[in-house]
Structure 1
Amino acid sequence: MTTIKTLIKEKLSTKVVILIICCFFLYIINWLCVSATPFLIGKFIDDVIQTKIGINIFYIYILIGLLVLDIVSNYISNILITRLTSKFTFHISFSALQHLKKVKLEHFSQKNAAEISQQISMDSDHVSEFLISSVFQSVGSLLSLVLCVFFTFQVNTNLAIIILCFVPIYLAFYIVTRKKIFELSFEYSESQIKFFSDMNHQLSNIKIIKINAWYNTLNPKFKKSFQQLYETTMKYSKFAYLYNSVDKITNSILSIIIIIYGGYLLLHNQLSIGGFAIINSYVGMINGSVSYFFNFFKSYKDVSVSKERLENIFLLEKELNHQRLLKSIDTIAIENVSYQYPDAPFPIVNGVHHTFSKGNIYLLQGGNGSGKSTFLNVMLGLHSDYNGEVKYNGVEMKELDLYHMREHLVSMVEQEPMLISDTILNNLTLGTQHDISDDVVHDYCKEFGLDYYIQSLPEQLHHHINHSSTNLSGGQKQKLALIRCFLKEADLLILDEPTSALDIQAIINLKEYLLSIKQKKIIIIVSHDERLNSIADETVEFSHAALQSV
């Protein structure tokens, strides 16, 4: 099983290890400078008071040198840590995305894409920042704590012991509260994701909201989501404030004790003014270090929520994929195939028999909910929990390398074409496995009436479009999807409502082109357009998942 630990190990190249070592070295230098400065200042004060001969310039040079070294080491280490954190965040996010791409399609039926992507982004960033920044800061704080206690012992043993006695208080409080921290952190994080998911859902459907004037209709649901976020935020904040208050109260009590006892020693000449200044400075630094660890334990519980959610993604079952390769697709035999969605009361595809052969155009027709899309998903191996057999060239699909087959031998035009934020050329050649010249692309664009639009653009094929395709009409999107499908030169072509946004001439050109290439293809068209009946070798009617050839 993939875990955060294994992902981190994957990223530990020699270069990354060197960066980590450099960061540790710089952090040690930084905290040595910070820890040594109060001690030198105290000694400087005592030296000035005791000698009464003026300022010892040697201390000034040392302090300036420590200050410069502190600033430089701190700057470089922060740059390196940001670099490391960014790389680890991307690696975790990328690995999660790669895994999700191969998870069974059924998993996404009740999931919100924006919610999933936001969760991965937040959790990856949270885990990476904790693993990198917090670990380095922990090392620095631990080193600072050790050095401060060491220097405090050099000044006064009793004061050092008093300071150390407060450490168990922090530890005991963390042990008592750690379970509660985890529960509240998980609840707060989940409500955050839900709230922003609901907001994204409305913004993603802004056109429908405008058309129906649903400006206030969806508000109750959104307000309910906010109320849940508000309640969990308040619960988490109250407990976090209580947690931090214990830290502040403990620090304040320790500071008061040190001031009173240190003042007593100072009055009785058992502690010098410089020594008192050293102790006072180190108490603040020790409090800061202990407080950091106190909050580190809280952060650990917070990040445990993110870690658990990310690892749950890697626990999701992948779709089946085996090793047998196909060089071509000549026949597809569907033998007594049935498929039922996990929460459905009955199969949407039930006992289907049919054979698709190269050299034919098949027209799939049927009403909404009759099982056409589900049937195609089963045929392509997107739904693997089916009964019956799907055979490609006589080989059961479950024995095949489906990733290789889809990548090289299958091409599909979706009802809502997916375009990427890139050039028109890169959108047209997306997924092709061979070199394609601009002249070939231009010929296809001319074939489907897209050449005038492209020629009108300043950069023509190299013009950038965005992934939402707001600068393209529905017909232009569909033509781009058709050309991309044909440029792939696959054996199996699946066209889902390919004429829904095409003009009359483009439909005529499409029909002629399909007839010209069908001898080397299996062409399956899902459409209600009767104008395509004339090119179909066989029309297959879907009636609640029962197939009937016409």
Structure 2
Amino acid sequence: MKKILDFREKKNLIKIIKLIIFSFIGISLYYILPLFTKYLIDDIISTNSIKELKIWLFLGLGFSVFLHLYIFYFLKYQWDKIPLYFSVKLKKIILEKIFKIKKYNYKDFDKGQLLNYLISDSGTYANVMITYLGTLTIGILRVITGYIILFIINPILSLISAIFIPLYVFSMGINKKKLEQYSKLERIKADEFITNANKNIEGKIHINLYQKEKYFEKIFEKKLEEWRNIRLKYSYWYNFGKEVPMFVNTLSSFIIMSIGAYYVISQKMTLGSLIMFSQYLSMLFEPLSQITQAIVEKQSNKGILNRINNFYNYNEEKKLVLENGNKDNIIEIKDCTIYTENKEKLLEIEDFIINKSNGLYIIKGKNGSGKTTILNLLTQIASPEIIKKNKKNSTFYFSKEFIESCSYLYNPVYLFEGDVKTNIIFNNTEDPQYLKEIISMLNINNLDKKINFQNLNISLGEKQKIHLARVLYFSKDKNILLLDEPLSNLDYKTKENIKDYLGKLKEEKIILVVSHENLFDDIANKIYNIIDNKILEERKEVIE
């Protein structure tokens, strides 16, 4: 499986190597501190030299300033900066991957899970992997360096210390399976909890209007309780895995220091050497502890690491296969049946053809009859699996031109941070005259108005106007315009303006409209009605 972050990539590798080198240099400076202690006890205190004590203090203060300035920047700050760099990089990769998902496959994804990938899991992935790679490398170097120093100070005590290293290694894998199990479950429950929380926030006003706060609070509490229970089990095994190595550390310290004290009493070792040895011993067990914690951290977050990599390696399974149809037609559907996502029959189509002649075509039908589903199929938002052939010679075809030259008024309305004008044209180069024509027709006179998402400051009608202005603006260089309920929430004057505008525009484009209203009937070239799960052409003649 390909990893979402390839640390063998030159740019990534250089950042990791720099982090490791500068970190090891900083940690190595700590190895000087025990020498200060030994010199103070065995050479200065034993000789009662005040002059040497002053020099020792001056050097110690200077070294402390240098040490902590170095530690602050190259250890503390850089260990925040580098994971954050990779976290931002991951978020960009994940968002790009989300945007690349085929429209008809997007509905299969849990939106709370995608949100978790983008906001939370990406940061966890970066922190865990950088900590694991960095700590493992630096830790091994520190253990080797520390053990060499211990061996120089006292070979026998260093050999006794080495006995406890395998216990550390053994303790790392004690609860591996439990951690992986609860890590995976915790993420699943967190996704469900976030999805539910998001729905409650989005639907807050509706919940208040129907006075159903208690009902939705109970649902929320149930999701929250399920997540809490799994989180507690995860926390139990996570902390247990961290504590076992700490127990080995404490136990080994008591045993080794007791033997060291015996050497001091027997005058085989000075007190300063023992204290220095104890300080270096902590420097041996500290990286062992950190290595253990990094491994436990990786094990405990294996569910997150795997699902991020799985998402990155996700391949589209459903493919839209377009058959050969009559090249004079832009859309050709013959003897096919459309089903719902639950495999229930929705709509039978015997003959639905729109040729390449410009004009206005209308699809009507009651709610849930399949009007919008037709548009979603044609724009690849609905899965191609929901349409089935009834006969061998059945046809489901729409031309390549349709795919490449189509502008679709898709609901619900999508707005984003910015002013009204930005929400219409995005970052496209402005065509002032064309934009003026559209906003004048739709009676939009507040292009500079900022959209406030904290306290939404536009009405439903204004949202629909922005939505329409956007799709019309983007349709300038396209031949096909699809409009799903374009008249929703609009005033009568604006509706009349749209009718007049489309009446002229149909001479230049193919316009397919889904609507409950009859306003466009007298300018339509064809009208299709969905009756009893069948789509029927009401009239074929051009209406003058």
TM-score range, shorter chain: 0.7 to 0.9
Correspondent of 2:122 among 121, 124, 128: 124
Say if 1:32 and 1:515 are closer, same or farther in 2 by CA, change over 3 A. Answer: same
Are the equivalent residues in 1 in contact too, given 2:242–2:296 (CA < 8 A)?
no
Offset of residue 361 of structure 1: 0.7
Say if 1:83 and 1:348 are closer, same or farther in 2 by CA, change over 3 A. Answer: farther
Distance 2:410 2:454 in 1: 15
Matches within 5 A, 1:421-436: 421-430=417-426, 435-436=429-430
Offset of residue 298 of structure 1: 0.9
Say if 1:9 and 1:148 are closer, same or farther in 2 by CA, change over 3 A. Answer: closer
Offset of residue 274 of structure 1: 1.2
* Counterpart in the other structure of 1:458: none
Are the equivalent residues in 1 in contact too, given 2:413–2:467 (CA < 8 A)?
yes
* Counterpart in the other structure of 1:546: 534
- Kindly provide the amino acid, as one letter, of the partner of residue 339 in structure 2: Q
Say if 1:92 and 1:384 are closer, same or farther in 2 by CA, change over 3 A. Answer: farther
* Counterpart in the other structure of 1:364: 363
Matched, 1:411 2:407: yes
Distance 2:171 2:372 in 1: 57
* Counterpart in the other structure of 1:299: 297
Matched, 1:250 2:248: yes
Offset of residue 247 of structure 1: 2.3
Residues 55-94 of structure 1: per-residue CA shift (max 9 Å, x gap): 2666555544543343233233343443332232233222
Residues 130-185 of structure 1: per-residue CA shift (max 9 Å, x gap): 22244223333333322222221121112111222111112223234211221122
Say if 1:114 and 1:337 are closer, same or farther in 2 by CA, change over 3 A. Answer: same
Q: Secondary structure at the match of 1:520?
A: coil
Offset of residue 439 of structure 1: 4.5
Are the equivalent residues in 2 in contact too, given 1:266–1:276 (CA < 8 A)?
yes
Offset of residue 97 of structure 1: 2.6
Percent of aligned positions that are identical? 19
* Counterpart in the other structure of 1:261: 259
Matched, 1:214 2:212: yes
Say if 1:164 and 1:533 are closer, same or farther in 2 by CA, change over 3 A. Answer: same
Say if 1:66 and 1:137 are closer, same or farther in 2 by CA, change over 3 A. Answer: farther
* Counterpart in the other structure of 2:180: 182
Distance 1:527 1:20 in 2: 58
Distance 2:321 2:333 in 1: 19
Q: Secondary structure at the match of 1:362?
A: strand
Distance 2:452 2:8 in 1: 36
Decide which moves more: 123-132 or 83-92.
Answer: 83-92
Matched, 1:486 2:482: no
Are the equivalent residues in 2 in contact too, given 1:329–1:492 (CA < 8 A)?
no
* Counterpart in the other structure of 1:194: 192
Distance 1:427 1:133 in 2: 41
- Kindly provide the amino acid, as one letter, of the partner of residue 189 in structure 2: S
Distance 1:63 1:266 in 2: 26
Distance 1:305 1:478 in 2: 42
Offset of residue 480 of structure 1: 1.1
Are the equivalent residues in 1 in contact too, given 2:175–2:237 (CA < 8 A)?
no
Distance 2:412 2:102 in 1: 21
TM-score, structure 2 as length reference: 0.88
* Counterpart in the other structure of 1:457: none
Offset of residue 2 of structure 1: 4.6
TM-score, structure 1 as length reference: 0.87
Offset of residue 127 of structure 1: 1.1
* Counterpart in the other structure of 1:499: 487
Distance 1:47 1:466 in 2: 71
* Counterpart in the other structure of 1:470: 456
Q: Secondary structure at the match of 2:397?
A: strand
Alignment: residue pair count: 522
Residues 169-214 of structure 1: per-residue CA shift (max 9 Å, x gap): 1222323421122112222232233223222221111011011001
Distance 2:374 2:440 in 1: 34
Distance 1:140 1:70 in 2: 18
Distance 1:329 1:199 in 2: 50
**Where does structure 1 lack aligned partners over 5 or more consecutive residues?**
455-460
Offset of residue 496 of structure 1: 1.0
Distance 1:127 1:113 in 2: 19
Matched, 1:32 2:28: yes
Distance 2:19 2:105 in 1: 41
Decide which moves more: 260-269 or 438-447.
Answer: 438-447
Offset of residue 18 of structure 1: 4.5
Say if 1:160 and 1:350 are closer, same or farther in 2 by CA, change over 3 A. Answer: farther
Offset of residue 482 of structure 1: 1.2
Say if 1:350 and 1:83 are closer, same or farther in 2 by CA, change over 3 A. Answer: farther
* Counterpart in the other structure of 1:46: 42
Q: Secondary structure at the match of 1:531?
A: coil
- Kindly provide the amino acid, as one letter, of the partner of residue 149 in structure 2: F
Distance 1:308 1:60 in 2: 52
Offset of residue 338 of structure 1: 3.6
Distance 2:290 2:498 in 1: 68
Are the equivalent residues in 1 in contact too, given 2:361–2:511 (CA < 8 A)?
yes
Distance 1:322 1:137 in 2: 50
Say if 1:122 and 1:173 are closer, same or farther in 2 by CA, change over 3 A. Answer: same
Residues 263-290 of structure 1: per-residue CA shift (max 9 Å, x gap): 1111111111111111221222222221
